[in-house]
């Protein structure tokens, strides 16, 4: 069965806003969403385990994965992370 907007909204109770929020985001969109540069996103995805998926030569992200990563401290400066701080006494 080919799904149309009417079939999806009726069958699954999905709204157009819900479907738009569930789409894959680009590096540029994630950078704008988080208020950082694209270079920062590339650094985070390669060095800080930011959740992303490479599709061809492009990185793509799910907003809920990025939100969870930020909440867990993934975007924090390594020197400011609670679990990484060393007692220097």
Q: What is the dihedral of CA 36, 34, 57, 54, to 10 degrees?
A: 140
- Residues of the domain holding 50: 23-75
Residue 54 confidence (pLDDT): 95
Give the domain CATH number at 57: 1.10.1660.10
Q: Would 82 be classed as within a structural domain?
A: no
Residue 57 lies in a domain: yes
Least confident of 9-13, 27-31, 76-80, 84-88: 84-88
What are the structure tokens assigned to 26, written together? 């680009």
In a domain, 9, yes or no: no
Q: Please indicate, yes or no, if residue 85 is contained in any of the structural domains.
A: no
Q: How many domains does the chain have?
A: 1
Residues 30-33: contacts with CB within 8 Å, 24+ apart?
30/61, 30/66, 33/63, 33/66
Whether the Cβ atoms of residue 68 and residue 75 lie closer than 8 Å to each other: no
The pTM for the full model equals 0.65
In a domain, 51, yes or no: yes
């Amino acid at each position: 069965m080919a799904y149309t907007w009417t079939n999806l909204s009726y069958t699954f109770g999905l709204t157009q806003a819900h479907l738009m929020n569930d789409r894959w985001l680009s590096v540029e969109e994630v950078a704008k969403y988080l208020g950082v540069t694209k270079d920062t996103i590339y650094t985070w995805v390669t060095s800080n385990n930011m959740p992303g998926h490479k599709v061809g030569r492009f990185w793509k992200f799910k907003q809920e994965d990025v939100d969870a990563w930020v909440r867990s401290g993934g975007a924090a400066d390594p020197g400011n992370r609670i679990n990484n701080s060393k007692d220097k006494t």
